[in-house]
Amino acid sequence: MGEECIEGGFKLKIGRRRTHVTTYENMILQTTQPVKKDKQKKIKRSIPSDYANFNYYNRMKKRRQEIREICWNNFDLPDVVMLTLTFDQKGNVEKNFTQLEDAHREFKKFIQRVNSHYENFRYLATFSRQRNGNWHYHVMCNFQHSIANKEITKLWKNGITYVSYVNTREKYNSAVHYLTHNMNESADALKGKHGYLCSRSVERDIKLVSWRAEQSDEFEEAFKKVKQERIKILYETRNPLGVKGTRVDEETGEAFDIHLRDRELTPALEDAGYEKWESIYTHLTSWADFSDKFEPLKPATLRPKKFKRTNP
């Protein structure tokens, strides 16, 4: 497996209203995938023995980041509404809403009905169980505040609905937090399943890195704008790689760097001229505006009627 060390690199994560910059020092890139299947995978000491729960913990963490990313890029005041959709078993005796597949089937029908009545509709939904075992949904969407709860109830057709109008930035932040909290409530039941649902048309962050040749032009243009704006350092992370030193070829007299992976700096190595070798990741936020790289946000609006109806 080949490796490449990048002494200095940059990564831009561009959003509609926020830009995140990460600087990399001594980053190891894997240039090829390992082919040998008989070689035992090296276990990092920092990873617990319960790999399933550890991997699922990281997966849920990534889901929460994705939910925040989608919300910030696709919804903004004043056209933000939170919907709560619940199931009423009385009117649907033959259906079992304790099964996520059945609940998702009804939710998909609801989205189809909304899209048939409204255009430019975008949504992000998380789901969890109620006390009675039925699933329910919390949906952030781009309805205008003129939408009435009775209209949502007609489109839902499965039970009680509630509409919350998000009209302040504080309520907006609380709504985003509530979506992630709602998903966490049923984390055990969501293993092996999708943690959230969203429109196909949602926009995600644009990711540019300095070490990819195919992104060089786009990266240089964006990085130039970042350097012209104010930047704030958020935090820094360090990952020990080993030790490094310099040796001289006795035949040619040429000096070259030596990297010893996963070695601690002992007094003997320090006396030999070695020093700590570590990767340093510095995370910053930039005030650079890249909103022109995203489509203008539009509220969901009623579709015009295709046929003019007349009274008999």
Summarize the confidence of residues 283-308 as an average pLDDT.
89
68, two tokens: 């925040």
pLDDT at 169: 95
- Can you state the angle between helices 169-185 and 51-74, rounded to 10 degrees? 150
Q: Give CA–CA dist 188/186, Å, rounded.
A: 6
Q: Give the containing element (helix H, strand E) for 281.
A: strand 275-286
Q: Give CA–CA dist 176/164, Å, rounded.
A: 13
pLDDT at 37: 46
Query: Is the predicted pLDDT of residue 188 greater than 90, yes or no?
Result: no
pLDDT at 3: 65
pLDDT at 262: 84
According to DSSP, residue 307 is labeled S
Q: Grade residue 90 by pLDDT with cuts at 50, 70 and 90.
A: confident
Contacts of 34 (CB under 8 A, 6+ apart): 1
Q: Grade residue 219 by pLDDT with cuts at 50, 70 and 90.
A: very high
pLDDT tens sequence across 105-159: 999 999 999 999 999 999 999 999 998 889 999 999 999 999 999 999 999 999 9
Query: Is the predicted pLDDT of residue 58 greater than 90, yes or no?
Result: no
Longest distance between any two alpha carbons in the chain, whole Å: 103
Q: Give CA–CA dist 58/132, Å, rounded.
A: 29
pLDDT tens sequence across 255-270: 888 888 888 889 998 8
Summarize the confidence of residues 167-187 as an average pLDDT.
92
Query: Is the predicted pLDDT of residue 32 greater than 50, yes or no?
Result: no
Q: Is the pTM of this model over 0.85?
A: no
Q: Give CA–CA dist 101/99, Å, rounded.
A: 5
Q: What one-character-per-residue DSSP string does 115-134 give?
A: HHHEES--EEEEEEE-TTS-
